Structure 1
Amino acid sequence: MTSTYQLGDEHLPSPFKSADTASLRGQALYVRATKLRLSFAVLAAVLAAMTFQVSDTWDLAGLCVALAFLATLLTEVWLLVAKPERAWYDGRAFAESIKTLSWRYAVAAQPFSLQSSESENERHFIAEVSKIISEAPSDSIAVTAPVHITERMREIRRSPLSVRRNAYLECRIEDQLKWYAGKADFNRSRAGRWRVTLIVIEGAGITAAILKAGGAIPFDLPGIMAALLGAGSAWFAVRQYESLGRAYSFAANDLSIVHARLQSIDSDNDWEREAADAEEAISREHTMWRASRGAS
């Protein structure tokens, strides 16, 4: 299927770019800080199993354990104060809200009907975007450019239904379908790998405990394995591979049904309603994602 026009992220209004950038930055910071916090916790357990006596009083390994715990504490405090996950979730919600409004306008889906005047539709679009901006947290999302309807959005809207339908199916539905399907495969694969990894760590912990009980190893290897298991389990919980894999599979299946239904529409009245329903389905999947992350 080939469409005359492509409506990529670069063709969306500038507030989308601001929110998308804020979300990606928040995600990167949150993931990086979580990795650091868990790594420092494991490092503390490793150092605690060792002894580096530098005098009759001081144990260098013990001091390093204290420093590792301090680094863990500082990272945790930074996460609590900076809340990068909030910028991640709120930024993504903001960006997706702008994107769905832009697609609704570009392909003439409700509430931007072709039966209404263009000036009325433009005022409605700008008002809706302005409402989203006003509700966005100013400490995590900064919109520095004015709200406007891009020329590519206008070009698609002025096109015949067949062109709008093809553009929507190819650049919106098929794009989202491929993204959800790819993410479903990725998360299922990672879930399986992490399950195996945790089982291996648990088995190694049992072996280490038996060896320690028999005096075969002089240091606290079981404690190190327990710390590794705790960190691995925490990371597995943070990434939510299994639940996301199921959610993305459901979304991909839902979008495949939407795609099939939209292909046969040949009247503007039906299109306005069905395309709006498709955007509701996409928005619903994102709302479920935010709920799974604990975002309000």
Structure 2
Amino acid sequence: MFRSNDRWALNRQSEAFRATMTQLALLLVATVFATLADHFGSHVLTALSALLYGLTVVTGVVIQRRRARAHWQAHRDAAETVKSLAWQYMVHGGPFHSRVPDPDGLFNQQLEEHLRSLRRIGWREPSHDPGATEYPGTLSDPVGRQKPDDPRHPQITRAMRAVRDKPFTVRRDIYLRDRVLDQLSWYGGRAVQARRAAALWSALTALLTLLALTAAVVRSAGVISGWDLSGLLAASAATGVAWLETRRHHPLSYAHALVREGLETQRAVLAQSVTEERWPEAVSDTEHLMLPQHTDWLARFGG
């Protein structure tokens, strides 16, 4: 289930970004043709501009009907929920502590409860996994496409059971190495990537806005009378701002940096001061930091 939802989330994410990029590009090219038509007095360019504006409207309608962004977020939530529950099951974290009488049954119950809320907003389990290949899971990838050893619990693999049966210290080391450190690296890399992209797009939009201002001042002063580039440059700047908001580089950079800080603190706590009795609660707190909903909540304050 993790593999399937992860791939569908990536596919829907790509579709959502491509659709938005297409819509913005059509608007910008339409504005270019409109500027050229105004300068040369060409009816052909005017018609092309009108056609592109019409295609932009059609693209917007298609985007609304496809709901790629909503499907992307639903599949991502489903994938991360399965992955988080799998790790908690393996290392005796959260509700899957050592004293629970039926951890397998509890896993199925917890998974169904989480997925039930996603079904209410339109999520459906993918019928197939596009482009996936068969390969066994590993300890660092515990939710791989292994065949379950119990058909009553199809999401619980042999690797997950093998880790769950290990002593506390071994489970702790596996969790710190293959889960926490892996996510520390991921969030750190994404924070840097988002910060650089935000700086680049912010600089580009600021430059285009400055050029639009310069063009407007120059035209009002009568220095250049043949071309009116201020509208085209302003439209280009607006396109950059819209793309920056679509990708959410600024808020995600803030959110990913905060999550990484929280994970670094949790890593130190888990490695040094958490006893076996407090381990389930500590793992649950760590997993909460990595939930997509938590990242989205942090991103609201980083915008």
Which TM-score bucket, shorter chain as reference? 0.7 to 0.9
Determine if the alignment matches structure 1 residue 37 to structure 2 residue 43.
Answer: no
Unaligned runs of 5+ in 1: 1-14
Of the structure 1 ranges 254-263 and 174-183, higher mean CA displacement relative to structure 2 is found in: 174-183
TM-score normalised by structure 2 residue count: 0.83
Match of 1:48 in 2: 34
Retained in 1: the 8 A contact 2:34–2:49?
yes
Unaligned runs of 5+ in 2: 129-152
Q: CA deviation at 1:85?
A: 0.4
Determine if the alignment matches structure 1 residue 18 to structure 2 residue 4.
Answer: yes
Determine if the alignment matches structure 1 residue 269 to structure 2 residue 251.
Answer: no
After superposition, what is the alpha-carbon deviation per residue over 1:159-202, rounded to whole angstroms, capped at 9, x for unaligned?
11122111111111111111111111111111111221112111
Residue correspondence of structure 1 range 1-296 to structure 2 within 5 A: 15-51=1-37, 59-117=43-101, 120-137=102-119, 140-144=123-127, 147-213=154-220, 214=222, 216=224, 218-265=226-273, 267-283=275-291, 286-291=292-297, 292=299
Provide the C-alpha distance between the structure 2 equivalents of 1:73 and 1:288, rounded to a whole number of angstroms: 34
Provide the C-alpha distance between the structure 2 equivalents of 1:290 and 1:280, rounded to a whole number of angstroms: 12
Provide the C-alpha distance between the structure 1 equivalents of 2:77 and 2:268, rounded to a whole number of angstroms: 27
The SS at the match of 2:55 is helix
Provide the C-alpha distance between the structure 1 equivalents of 2:88 and 2:272, rounded to a whole number of angstroms: 19
Provide the C-alpha distance between the structure 2 equivalents of 1:45 and 1:288, rounded to a whole number of angstroms: 39
Retained in 1: the 8 A contact 2:256–2:295?
no
Retained in 1: the 8 A contact 2:39–2:226?
no
Q: CA deviation at 1:290?
A: 3.4
Provide the C-alpha distance between the structure 2 equivalents of 1:96 and 1:266, rounded to a whole number of angstroms: 25
> Comparing both chains, which one has the higher relative contact order based on Cα–Cα distances under 8 Å and sequence gaps of 6 or more?
1
The SS at the match of 2:278 is helix
Q: Count matched residues.
A: 273
TM-score normalised by structure 1 residue count: 0.85
Q: CA deviation at 1:139?
A: 5.3
Match of 2:138 in 1: none
Provide the C-alpha distance between the structure 1 equivalents of 2:37 and 2:288, rounded to a whole number of angstroms: 60
Q: CA deviation at 1:114?
A: 1.6
Paired residue type of 2:240 = G
After superposition, what is the alpha-carbon deviation per residue over 1:56-115, rounded to whole angstroms, capped at 9, x for unaligned?
9x8110111111111211111011111100011111111111111111001111211222
After superposition, what is the alpha-carbon deviation per residue over 1:119-159, rounded to whole angstroms, capped at 9, x for unaligned?
x1101101222233333348554244883201111111111
Q: CA deviation at 1:53?
A: 11
Retained in 1: the 8 A contact 2:31–2:232?
yes
Query: C-alpha root-mean-square deviation of aligned residues, in Å?
Result: 2.4
Provide the C-alpha distance between the structure 2 equivalents of 1:17 and 1:164, rounded to a whole number of angstroms: 23
Of the structure 1 ranges 151-160 and 141-150, higher mean CA displacement relative to structure 2 is found in: 141-150
Provide the C-alpha distance between the structure 1 equivalents of 2:32 and 2:9, rounded to a whole number of angstroms: 35
